[in-house]
Structure 1
Amino acid sequence: MVLYSQFWQVDAGGTYGVSGPGLDWELDWTAPWEHLVEESRTWSLLEASEAPTVDNIFVAPTWIDRTDLYLER
């Protein structure tokens, strides 16, 4: 499940964080895992479709899986 994405621009001077699409979304952490995954996927796809499209920009997603959320399983 994708938690968030960061956008980076690389040029001769280095690597710099850049603004992404600025979507403000938050998950309901009390929801079942399957719902969290579905919501995260929906928002991540929307974020990807709105992401900057310059050649020297790349995205670094941060994700977790079920075991990160439910350690006892």
Structure 2
Amino acid sequence: MEEVINDLAKHDQAVLYFQLWRTTDTGIYWTDHETLHWEFDPHAPWPQTVAITRETALMEAAFVTVHGNLFAAVEWIDESDV
């Protein structure tokens, strides 16, 4: 997950959030994780937004216990999306 977050920031993309999902024999289920509850500021300078969202996503990802049937869906935006 860190690779994806860092790569998005390297390409000037801001990570809004990520969701965790686990797969089982009976289906795919959303899984809760620790969040920092930051609020996106569309008026902040874009480089600052990218840096803040990168750090926030990395901190949240650090609390995730990784296992084989878990995957993340990452939501990100480009400056042109604002």
**TM-score class, shorter:** 0.7 to 0.9
Q: Runs ≥4 in structure 1, deviation > 4 angstroms?
A: none
TM-score (norm 2): 0.76
> 1:54 offset after TM fit, Å?
2.5
Q: Gaps (5+ residues) in structure 2?
A: 1-13
* 1:23-73 residue CA offsets vs partner (Å, 9 max, x unmatched): 32223332111110010011011111111322211111000001101xxxx
**Aligned CA-pair RMSD:** 1.2
Specify the structure having the higher radius of gyration (Cα). 1
Report which of the two has the higher share of helix: 2
1:22-61 superposed matches below 5 A: 22-61=35-74
2:5 aligns with none
SS at match of 2:17: strand
TM-score (norm 1): 0.84
Q: Gaps (5+ residues) in structure 1?
A: none
